[in-house]
Amino acid sequence: MAYPSDIHTPYTLVDNTDDVLATHPNTLSSEVSLIETKVGTDSSAVASTIDYFLKHASGAYRTHKHDATSDDGSASLISLTTLGLTTGTSITEISTDGTLADDSDNAVSTEKAVKTYVDSKFTTVSRARGYQTVDQYILTSSYTKIKLNNESHDELGELYSSLVTGVADATEVNKLHDADGGFTSALVGATVYNTSGTKYAVITGFVDSGELDLDSDGIVSGQDYIIHFSRFTATLAGYYYVKGSVCLQAPTPNSEIFALIYKNGALHVYDREHAAYASELIVTVSDVIYLAVDSYVELYAWHNSSSTKPTLSGTTLVYMSIHRLS
């Protein structure tokens, strides 16, 4: 059988003979030209559906856009601007961005980019646990912030459990005076109380290193005081599991005890227990809370016993634990 000179007549003999090599030494490049004559060509630099991606057996036409071989004869990738099917989106990029910041429907991420993104979601752990190791008096029928004077698992330094202590050396309404206090403006917003548990106030202003403004009557001269924040402030936005526990000593029978979680200074969620008799009673509260960057949570207590009652401190009795979920 002869080699065809035209693909319209594939069985035509060449020079009346079927000896192709002897009488018609066609090359593969010639046959590619014949195929293009039949199906048409695309003059652009982008391969289209009317093109055939062929490998050249010879070294001819190395710069032809259908060529899928490199100069050394090895296979090389054909360059495309887009990749798509007849329906749906078109892929225009193979992305190496490990943050997936473009949020694109037209890009496919590499294996390394996907791994980088997934790893970033699990390597940064935001969690903390603050707890109380020294009892604290809780005023009756008053929302009192729980002092958390110790901590653990604070991976990112988000829990403020430090205390400032001292002795007031003067008495003035809505003031705390202590010449040796070493106060700074960073204390604004913290809670201050006397160690006898009869007075609580919030610091509203900084005057100097020995004087602070309070939102109510101040600590009188000669009283020991404690300043604390006991606050978890998020450095990463996300959903957090927050759990708090309060243990109160000898509540009045038939009274109620509340444990409350505050978010950004306002009540977010609470739980309560009824005291059937005068013994230690634990109340826990928990919730999944969304925290933006710089949002914070605090633990409060409330009871309606007949008088001020102390907490029963302990790492498993009075605490607040926080763990970022996503």
Domain ranges of the chain: 1-81, 93-122, 125-157+235-326, 163-228
Strands, sheet with 127-132, edge to edge from the N-terminal-most edge strand: 150-152, 127-132, 314-324, 238-248, 281-291
**Residue-level pLDDT at 11:** 45
What percentage of the chain carries pLDDT values higher than 90?
A: 58
Per-residue confidence band for 72, with pLDDT thresholds at 50, 70 and 90:
low
**Residue 26 confidence (pLDDT) above 60:** no
pLDDT at 109 over 60: yes
Query: Which class would CATH give 125-157+235-326?
Result: mainly beta
Mean pLDDT (whole number) for 174-186:
96
Q: Indicate the CATH number for domain 163-228.
A: 2.40.10
The pLDDT value recorded for residue 171 is 94
Task: Supply the pLDDT for residue 70.
Answer: 52
269-314 pLDDT per residue, tens: 999 999 998 889 999 999 999 999 999 999 999 999 999 999 999 9
Give the model's confidence band at 87: pLDDT under 50 very low, under 70 low, under 90 confident, else very high. Answer: confident
pLDDT at 102: 87
Q: Which two tokens stand for residue 139?
A: 């005023």
Nearest-CA neighbor of 132 among 312, 321, 323, 322?
Answer: 312
Cα separation, 210 vs 163, whole angstroms: 16
Higher pLDDT, 12 or 230: 230
Can you give the chain as a three-state secondary structure string?
CCCCCCCCCCCCCECCECCHHHHCCCCHHHHHHHHHHHHCCCCCCCCCCCCCCCCCCCCCCCCCCCCCECCCCCECCCCCCCECCCCCCCECEEECCCCCCCCCCCEEECHHHHHHHHHHHHHCCCEEEEEECCCCEECCCCCEECCCCEEECCCCCCEECCEEEEECCECCCCEEECCCCCCCHHHCCCEEEECCCCCEEEEEEEEECCEEEECCCCCCCCCEEEEECCEEECCCCEEEEEEEEEEECCCCCCEEEEEEEEECCEEEEEEEEEECCCCCEEEEEEEEEEECCCCEEEEEEEECCCCCEEECCEEEEEEEEEEECC
Confidence of residue 195 (pLDDT cuts 50, 70, 90): confident
Q: Which two structure tokens, joined as six digits, stand for 294?
A: 């710089």
Pairing mode of beta strands 144-145, 296-303 = antiparallel
Q: Determine the pLDDT at residue 100.
A: 86
At residue 317, does pLDDT exceed 70? yes
| Identity of the residue numbered 56 | H
**Looking at residue 16, what is its pLDDT?**
53
Please state the rounded mean pLDDT for residues 6-31: 51
Across the range 95-120, mean pLDDT stands at 86
